[in-house]
Structure 1
Amino acid sequence: MLSDKLKKTIRSCHEKLAAQLTDYRNRPSQNFLVAEIAKTLAGEYHNTQHICVIEAGTGTGKSLAYLLGALPLALAKKKKLVISTATVALQEQLISKELPFVQAHSGLSFTFDLVKGRQRYICVHKLLNVFAEEAQLSFMPTLSSPLNNEEKASLQQLQQAYSDKKWSGDRDIWPKPISDKVWSLIVCDKHACQRQLKSHQHCPFHLARNKIAQVDVLVINHAVLLADLELGGGKILPEPEDTFYVIDEAHHLPQVTRDFSSAAATIKGTIEWADKLLKFSGKLANTIVAQKAIGQNFKLNDALNETTKQLKHVRDMLDNAEYEYNSDEHFRFNHGQIPELLQQRAKDIADATQDTLRSLTKMHEALSSDVADGDVKTTVADPLLIESGQYIQRLETLQKLWYSYAEKGQSMPHARWIKRLEYKNHHDYLLCDCPIEVGYYLKDQLWQKCAGAILCSATLSALGTFDHFAFASGLANEPGVRFIKAPSPFEYEQQALLHIPKTDVEPTHPDFSQYLIKALPSYLDKKGANLVLFASYWQMEQVAKGLRAKGWSLLIQGESSREALLTLHKNKVDNNQGSILFGTQSLSEGLDLPGKYLENLIITKIPFAVPTSPVEEAQAEFIESKGGNPFLSITVPEAAKKLVQSCGRLLRKETDFGRITILDRRLVSKRYGQAMLDSLPPFKRQID
């Protein structure tokens, strides 16, 4: 229960923060959220399940609400507060603005820090020794070709900057992009860059991790959260049962979870690096002091030879199979069901890969122990640990893929497909696996373990309900889980007009692009700030070409970076020139153009996704097999959320105003369209 003392603390914090905000306005919706978050985490609604799902639109002040609602409770109950986001922009806002403000003025005493995955940091030993070990680098699985002069110069700059203490080793802080090829040589990895080895104890990742235990509030991204869950929880982050989680931008969580649970590997490419591993393992065994390494190497060789033998069988099988690949060179197995012969090969490969992984891991650990004991010099061991670590990572992915293809211990549906790869002198096959549903994973690994969780976003409901998100995230029918829509502070009827004009051509008609070229000029404001959103790059480019031929000046997504485009757009508006910005769906989320920078929003058509990816096809197939309708179950709800996001670009503050025009009559002519229309904010409407 929420004690009177905690209630008083929360009220006091809120009052102190309000006093520091010059433009502060009392928002009933924000007050409501603070109370609901605090009561949920305090267990007022359920004894064990302390979870709340919140849809809170722009202007609600949800970040301040969850800090006020969760932080005093976390401090009082000695729990960690972990805030997970999907975008770097929100992380930066929390770290540089929201948390420092609360820390300075709330009266609460707490610490906070940003937690990144290890792949964002260098391994110091790798960086400082990358040229000394260049002879060994040619054998490393990550390096496809020798370094060119530009790449060598980049590494030298990084070395010098780190040595001069002008760079901390964080990839995101380096002022220029670091190529993936260069970064792969110096990046921290869990197998080679180990804290217990003296030469790695001062690597930036380990220094950052050392601070976690002392920090009260941790800001992370969804990928770090999933990485911790994959390890069982409490390995990177605090233990789930000792943690209150805030999952901001929660609508991304199911997709990030799916991506994290996927696996893919080539056939011929795997055979090639398996052959390199055979040669490398002998070198590794000879370096290890303990004699038992020789026995492990024999086991590794036997298992790896079996893996290679079975992979060659699969290669020959696929070469002779009469699979019908589509235009993207994909062949998807219907219902994820693998042919019996391939499944048997998969079982053999999964078992052999597991044996290989077990032996290599033991050898890797043995060499790490030799270094820690001083029996093997670091300069000798580190190149071997780096290389064996990369082989271990590849084996883990390989084992995950073939374990799934063997359908061992699986009860949930998976999408499985092959992509045919054509090269200049040869071809290969990429085998892929992805779970269709991931809610059960989040339920088992996070929701049922954590001390409490708040999931929030501006778009979590679809067509008036949370059903779609609840199922995808594993929260459907869970006891005690509360779903809340926070009322918006905007007065939509006074601030915006939603116009659906009559159109001469249906959005599905081949002539729709030509219609847009003809019709758009009558809806554009030459002197104002315009954003036109398209459902596809192809159509955007066709319309842009047609309008430019008529003399229109346009800013087109993809012709410059996002930042450069927005700067140009704002400069034109500031100089009273008017601006017309063309973009696709990626500009409908996270784009903030307040006030005069956007007063006229045009949406050309409902943003329906075309289910062309193997995962989307498999998902639709699975729903059909259960007697459902994929269009109504997936496509419409997803499009409805995207439409809400698109419309959300117009009003960013309570003082904003403007016009939204949607050139898609299906919103009024189709039954699902009416449901979409009803899910939009209550703008003043003009339907011709």
Structure 2
Amino acid sequence: MLSDALKKTIRKIHQQVADNLTDYKPRKSQNYLVAEIAKTLSGEYHKSQRICVMEAGTGTGKSLAYCLGALPYALANKKKLIISTATVALQEQLIEQELPFFAKNSGLDFQFDLVKGRHRYACAQKLKASLIEEPEQLGFMPLLKSPLSEMEKKCLEQLVSAYTTSKWHGDRDAWADTIPDKVWNLVAGDKHSCQRQLAEHQHCPFHKARNRLAQMDVLVVNHSLLLADLDLGGGKILPEPSKSIYVIDEAHHLPKITRDFSSASATVKGTLEWLDKLAKFNQKLSNTISTQRAIGMNFKLADAITDTQKELKKARDILDGLDITYNEDDVYRFKNGELPELLTNLSKDLSDSSHLVSKHLNKMHEALVLDVNDGDVKPHKADPILAESGVYIQRIENLNKLWNNLTKGTSSSPHARWITQQNYKNHHDHLLADSPIEVGFYLKDKLWQECAGAVLCSATLTALGNFDHFAFESGLAGEEGVKFLKVPSPFDYPEQAQLLLPDIKCEPTDKNFTKRLIEAMPDFIKKEKANLVLFASYWQMKEVAQGLRTKGYNLLLQGESSREYLIKQHKKNIDKNKGSILFGTQSLSEGLDLPGKYLENLIITKIPFAVPTSPMEEAQTEHVQNKGGNPFLSITVPEASKKLVQSCGRLLRKEKDFGRIVILDRRLISKRYGKAMLDALPPFTRKIEY
């Protein structure tokens, strides 16, 4: 239960924060969120399962709400607060604005930091080693296929110089300019060679950053890092789930990111090639290890590599001989995820043999680490070998993950499985891929049942007005004690915006729809204002843009310049009272913030229905059909509804914003699902033409 003392503390903090916020206005919706978060985490709704899912519209102040509702409780109960986001932009906003403000004005004594993956930091030893004359000769870069250019060499020299003079502390994101991937891969930290137990690495940037974590009360991470920790069992990268309260911001991204994280893929012939290199490297690794045990380990690893190569050659022959028809993207998807019997039988053998490669390679790697710790092998000699073995360890782990996943049946846990045919000038290859269709059970087992509490929030968690779709995807459907909250935005939608559905006498399914868009668009663009026109496809956007440009329209077109440049130019046009027309696709329908005068006229050309063309989407459709469902109504329509809400959300960003939304898709009126989609939108003043 939430104690009276904690209630009093939260009220006091809220008042102090409010007193220091410019133009602060009390919001019932925000107060409600704060109270419900605190009640949920204190166990008022369920003793053990303390989870709330909240959809809060733009302008509600979600970040302040979860800081007020969760942080006082976490501090009082000696729990860590872990805030996970999907985008770098929100991480930066939390670290640079929201949390510093809250720390300064709340009166709470807490420390916070941003947690990033190891690969975002340089390794001090690799920086030191890169000082040799020819960086491409470094032993720890088996993946460097071509020499560094002069520009890349200069960049590397600048990194080393800045680090050695303490002007840069090894964080990739803190470097003023872009660091080419090729250069960064030379010096980036990795978990296999840059280990804390190695004396030469104890002061590497990553380990310095990790040393600070124990002192932190609030940790800001991204969803991928959160999943990486859960995959290791929890508590390996981040604090233990049982001692942590999680805020999952931008939670609508979590199911997809979880699915991507759980997927695996690998080529067949490409794998055979790097296994050949690993077989040669095996001897180099063995020769570096001081102990006599290296000889036995060397033989075991060699045998496991040979067995894996033998089985992979069988896989190559099976795939070459399959009587299948690839689609226009050179992809063939296995129906219901069921592999041919020969491939199914081979999967078990490849899972076993690749596991042995991983096991023996890890043992040799650990033996060399021990030698370095004992002083039997010099660090400068071991570092490049450890880094190279680390590359192979990661590759073999991924290979094992793929073939292990392919051994699993699909009846209880459905999987999408497919082959992509890769054709090159001199040879061809096959890429095998496996991805779970449903990931809710993974999140349920690894996170929801283990954590001390969780708050999931986003502006778009419902689809067609309810949480059913998200609850199923995230593993929260039917879970006892989970609190679902939908909190409206403080905006006065009827006063601030009009939703216009003009009768343009043509639907998107009509072959003349693009031509009709070119004809009708001038009637809805306000040349003197800020316009954003959203399309469901690049090709249609380009066609309409070409048609309007012949009529004299000046357009800013996504794809012709970087997103940053387009937005900057758009704002510059408005600041000069020129008016601006920005054309974009779905990637501009989320996370684009154009407040006030920077967006007053939003045009949405069609409902953003996803066409199930990827093997993953096709497998999802097939799975729903197999269960007797309608994939269009259970997947396509809810997803499109959510995206339409996100698109409409671009118009009003602040309480004083105003403008108009024009939707040129008559299916919102003519189709049965249209009414549900319209009802899911905010209550704008509607004008529907007939």
TM-score by length of 1: 0.99
Q: What are the equivalent positions in structure 2 for 1:54-69 lying under 5 Å apart?
A: 54-69=54-69
The more displaced of 292-301 and 457-466 is 292-301
Q: Show the counterpart of 1:440.
A: 441
Cα distance in 1 for residues equivalent to 2:685 and 2:135: 66
Cα distance in 1 for residues equivalent to 2:378 and 2:412: 48
The more displaced of 596-605 and 175-184 is 175-184
Deviations 1:24-63 (A, max 9, x none): 0010000000000000000000000000000001110010
Q: Does 1:111 pair with 2:111?
A: yes
Q: How many residues align?
A: 688
Closer/same/farther in 2, CA of residues 673 and 135 from structure 1, 3 Å limit? closer
Q: Show the counterpart of 1:417.
A: 418
- In the TM superposition, residue 286 of structure 1 has moved relative to its aligned partner by 1.7
The more displaced of 677-686 and 139-148 is 139-148
- In the TM superposition, residue 288 of structure 1 has moved relative to its aligned partner by 1.1
Q: What are the equivalent positions in structure 2 for 1:133-172 lying under 5 Å apart?
A: 134=135, 137=138, 140-172=141-173
Cα distance in 1 for residues equivalent to 2:286 and 2:410: 34
Please state whether the residue corresponding to 1:434 is helix, strand or coil. Answer: strand
Q: Does 1:687 pair with 2:684?
A: no
The more displaced of 326-335 and 399-408 is 399-408
Q: Show the counterpart of 2:304.
A: 303
Deviations 1:603-632 (A, max 9, x none): 000000111111011111111111111111
Q: Show the counterpart of 1:123.
A: 123
Letter of the 2:277 counterpart: K
Cα distance in 2 for residues equivalent to 1:128 and 1:641: 50
Cα distance in 1 for residues equivalent to 2:65 and 2:366: 47
Q: Does 1:480 pair with 2:476?
A: no
Q: Show the counterpart of 1:403.
A: 404
- In the TM superposition, residue 174 of structure 1 has moved relative to its aligned partner by 1.4
Q: Show the counterpart of 1:45.
A: 45
Cα distance in 1 for residues equivalent to 2:464 and 2:145: 49
C-alpha contact (below 8 Å) 1:404/1:410 kept by paired residues: no
Letter of the 1:120 counterpart: R
Letter of the 1:276 counterpart: K
Letter of the 1:180 counterpart: D
The more displaced of 272-281 and 450-459 is 272-281
- In the TM superposition, residue 351 of structure 1 has moved relative to its aligned partner by 0.5
Cα distance in 1 for residues equivalent to 2:635 and 2:207: 42
Q: Show the counterpart of 2:612.
A: 611
C-alpha contact (below 8 Å) 2:141/2:186 kept by paired residues: no
Superposed CA RMSD in Å reads 1.2
Q: Does 1:587 pair with 2:578?
A: no
Q: What are the equivalent positions in structure 2 for 1:185-584 lying under 5 Å apart?
A: 185-407=186-408, 411-584=412-585
Letter of the 2:261 counterpart: F
C-alpha contact (below 8 Å) 2:42/2:50 kept by paired residues: yes
Q: Show the counterpart of 1:95.
A: 95
Letter of the 2:326 counterpart: Y
- In the TM superposition, residue 437 of structure 1 has moved relative to its aligned partner by 0.7
Q: Does 1:630 pair with 2:631?
A: yes
Closer/same/farther in 2, CA of residues 510 and 138 from structure 1, 3 Å limit? farther
- In the TM superposition, residue 123 of structure 1 has moved relative to its aligned partner by 1.1
Cα distance in 2 for residues equivalent to 1:436 and 1:141: 35
Deviations 1:267-300 (A, max 9, x none): 1111011011111111111211221221111111
Q: Show the counterpart of 1:27.
A: 27
Please state whether the residue corresponding to 1:326 is helix, strand or coil. Answer: coil
C-alpha contact (below 8 Å) 1:53/1:454 kept by paired residues: yes
Cα distance in 2 for residues equivalent to 1:510 and 1:406: 45
C-alpha contact (below 8 Å) 1:141/1:391 kept by paired residues: no
**Percent identity between the aligned chains?**
67
C-alpha contact (below 8 Å) 1:285/1:294 kept by paired residues: yes
C-alpha contact (below 8 Å) 2:139/2:385 kept by paired residues: no
Closer/same/farther in 2, CA of residues 253 and 684 from structure 1, 3 Å limit? same
Cα distance in 1 for residues equivalent to 2:146 and 2:343: 34
Please state whether the residue corresponding to 2:83 is helix, strand or coil. Answer: strand
- In the TM superposition, residue 145 of structure 1 has moved relative to its aligned partner by 2.2
Cα distance in 2 for residues equivalent to 1:316 and 1:473: 39
Cα distance in 2 for residues equivalent to 1:346 and 1:340: 10
The more displaced of 98-107 and 500-509 is 500-509
Please state whether the residue corresponding to 2:247 is helix, strand or coil. Answer: strand
- In the TM superposition, residue 68 of structure 1 has moved relative to its aligned partner by 0.4
Letter of the 1:395 counterpart: I
Letter of the 2:282 counterpart: S
Deviations 1:327-350 (A, max 9, x none): 111011111111110111111111
Cα distance in 2 for residues equivalent to 1:571 and 1:325: 48
Cα distance in 2 for residues equivalent to 1:309 and 1:152: 41
Please state whether the residue corresponding to 2:624 is helix, strand or coil. Answer: helix
Letter of the 2:660 counterpart: R
Q: Show the counterpart of 2:78.
A: 78
Please state whether the residue corresponding to 1:590 is helix, strand or coil. Answer: coil
Q: Show the counterpart of 1:15.
A: 15
Closer/same/farther in 2, CA of residues 669 and 308 from structure 1, 3 Å limit? same
TM-score by length of 2: 0.98
- In the TM superposition, residue 131 of structure 1 has moved relative to its aligned partner by 4.9
- In the TM superposition, residue 320 of structure 1 has moved relative to its aligned partner by 1.9
Q: Show the counterpart of 2:181.
A: 180
Closer/same/farther in 2, CA of residues 409 and 142 from structure 1, 3 Å limit? farther
Letter of the 2:120 counterpart: R
Cα distance in 2 for residues equivalent to 1:653 and 1:409: 48
| Unmatched segments (≥5 aa) in structure 1 | none
Cα distance in 1 for residues equivalent to 2:278 and 2:602: 57
Deviations 1:74-127 (A, max 9, x none): 000000000000011111111111111110111111000000111111111112
- In the TM superposition, residue 168 of structure 1 has moved relative to its aligned partner by 1.4
The more displaced of 552-561 and 394-403 is 552-561
Cα distance in 2 for residues equivalent to 1:341 and 1:127: 48
Letter of the 1:115 counterpart: V
| Unmatched segments (≥5 aa) in structure 2 | none
C-alpha contact (below 8 Å) 1:141/1:273 kept by paired residues: no
Q: Show the counterpart of 1:2.
A: 2
C-alpha contact (below 8 Å) 1:414/1:434 kept by paired residues: yes
Cα distance in 1 for residues equivalent to 2:644 and 2:452: 34
Cα distance in 2 for residues equivalent to 1:278 and 1:556: 51
Cα distance in 1 for residues equivalent to 2:331 and 2:565: 36
C-alpha contact (below 8 Å) 1:136/1:383 kept by paired residues: no
Q: What are the equivalent positions in structure 2 for 1:649-664 lying under 5 Å apart?
A: 649-664=650-665
Please state whether the residue corresponding to 1:247 is helix, strand or coil. Answer: strand
C-alpha contact (below 8 Å) 1:87/1:221 kept by paired residues: yes
C-alpha contact (below 8 Å) 2:140/2:386 kept by paired residues: no
Cα distance in 2 for residues equivalent to 1:300 and 1:62: 53
- In the TM superposition, residue 138 of structure 1 has moved relative to its aligned partner by 6.6
Cα distance in 2 for residues equivalent to 1:140 and 1:441: 35
Please state whether the residue corresponding to 1:421 is helix, strand or coil. Answer: strand
- In the TM superposition, residue 355 of structure 1 has moved relative to its aligned partner by 0.6
Cα distance in 2 for residues equivalent to 1:408 and 1:309: 24
Cα distance in 2 for residues equivalent to 1:67 and 1:107: 13
C-alpha contact (below 8 Å) 1:142/1:184 kept by paired residues: no
C-alpha contact (below 8 Å) 2:602/2:660 kept by paired residues: yes
- In the TM superposition, residue 150 of structure 1 has moved relative to its aligned partner by 2.3
- In the TM superposition, residue 573 of structure 1 has moved relative to its aligned partner by 0.9
Cα distance in 2 for residues equivalent to 1:662 and 1:377: 68
- In the TM superposition, residue 134 of structure 1 has moved relative to its aligned partner by 4.5
